[in-house]
Structure 1
Amino acid sequence: MTDSEILIQLPEWSIVNQKLSRQFVFNDFIQAFGFMTQAGIIAEKMNHHPEWSNVYNTVNVELITHSQGCISQLDIELATHMNNIFENSITKE
């Protein structure tokens, strides 16, 4: 799949340094931490773990399939799950 095809499926994401990248901004730390907890459970079930960081209400995520050295379908699936978690956490407020 080309970068353009990936970004059509995931318009909120970008490709930076050959990794799928997105910044999620929440209302507060608790909401950001809750997102990371939910996403972490899914990532563990998928056995596909993000590179991410959190500062207060912001979570920065980078996804790449290291074993393939590129963005794979696993990254697209995890990004889609993260989008859904984010949308559900924002609409609950």
Structure 2
Amino acid sequence: MQKLNEKEIQQHLESLPGWEYRDNAIETSLEFKDFKDAFTVMTRIAFEAESQNHHPEWSNVYNNVSIRLSTHDAGGVTKKDFELARAIEDVIDDGN
């Protein structure tokens, strides 16, 4: 998978509100009603990540989830990261 340049990354980000390019990765932060809702979404994302064989760096504190995507083998952001970001957005949209 080929690493995208910053212009390509910014173009992809136009269709992903709430996501930013920072320190060689794309990132977002999410806030939920409570820990149970946050963990439920994380579980659903985990299944999607496993099916794509692409796993996020993430953290969870109570009702907040921070997600960071980068393709380590390519040394930066690739289309694979945007595919997972869109799938994450679909999981979030399905939960609302």
- TM-score where L is the length of structure 1: 0.91
CA distance in 1, matches of 2:79, 2:10: 14
Instruction: List, as ranges, runs of 4+ consecutive aligned residues in structure 1 with deviation greater than 2 Å.
Output: none
SS of equivalent residue, structure 2 residue 29: strand
Amino-acid identity (%): 37
Report which stretch shifted further, 23-32 or 80-89: 80-89
Residue 17, structure 1, aligned to residue 27, structure 2: no
Listed as ranges, the matches of 1:7-86 within 5 Å are 7-86=13-92
Q: Is the 8 A contact 1:6 1:76 kept in 2?
A: yes
State the 1:11 CA deviation.
2.2
CA distance in 2, matches of 1:4, 1:52: 21
Where structure 1 has 5 or more consecutive residues not aligned to the other structure, the ranges are: none
Q: Is the 8 A contact 2:34 2:62 kept in 1?
A: yes
State the 1:79 CA deviation.
0.5
Instruction: Give me the CA root mean square deviation.
Output: 1.0
Q: Is the 8 A contact 2:10 2:21 kept in 1?
A: no
Where structure 2 has 5 or more consecutive residues not aligned to the other structure, the ranges are: none
Alignment length (residue pairs): 90
- TM-score where L is the length of structure 2: 0.88
Q: Is the 8 A contact 1:32 1:57 kept in 2?
A: yes
